[in-house]
Amino acid sequence: MQTTLKIIELLSKKYLSNISILGTYQSSKYISIVDSNNGTMFIISDNHLFSFKDQHCNLWLTILKSFCLNENEHNTKPDDLYTKSNGIKYSFTSKEEIVAMAVQYFEQHKCPYS
């Protein structure tokens, strides 16, 4: 429940013009909040898959049963880290940790006049 409240609060704040929110948490299947200056984004898909991508294209995801990387299938568990051949990193962690990353990042971009 606490994570849900953090998400609702994150998506209801007013941000600087470089931050865009697409969707609403309680009525959309896919929600994202994006920093158009550097590509940082937080995505919720079907309220099941959570991801956070930083400005260096590193990606944190909630745990998946399996995924393909460099033509190999991998089974994931918490704190697994995979690196693509181009150096981009995929980390697997909990929904709570991903939400905390998003809150910490986007908090810096709140509109100071609201």
Q: Is residue 78 part of a domain?
A: yes
Range of the domain at 17: 1-107
Do the domain assignments include residue 2?
yes
53 lies in some domain: yes
Query: Is residue 113 domain-resident?
Result: no
pLDDT tens track for 44-58: 998 889 999 999 989
Query: Judging by DSSP bridges, how do beta strands 81-83 and 89-93 pair with one another?
Result: antiparallel
Is 20 part of any domain? yes
| 114 against 97, higher pLDDT | 97
* 17 in any annotated domain: yes
Residue 114 forms part of a structural domain = no
pLDDT tens for residues 19-36? 999 988 777 889 999 999
User: Would you state the pLDDT for residue 114?
Assistant: 66
pLDDT of amino acid 88: 82
Tens of pLDDT, residues 62-100: 977 777 777 888 788 888 888 888 888 889 899 999 999
CA separation, residue 30 to residues 5, 22, 52 (Å) = 17, 8, 14
Q: Which phi and psi (to 5°) does residue 90 adopt?
A: -115, 120
| Residue 96 lies inside a defined structural domain of this protein | yes
Q: CB–CB of 11/19 below 8 Å?
A: no
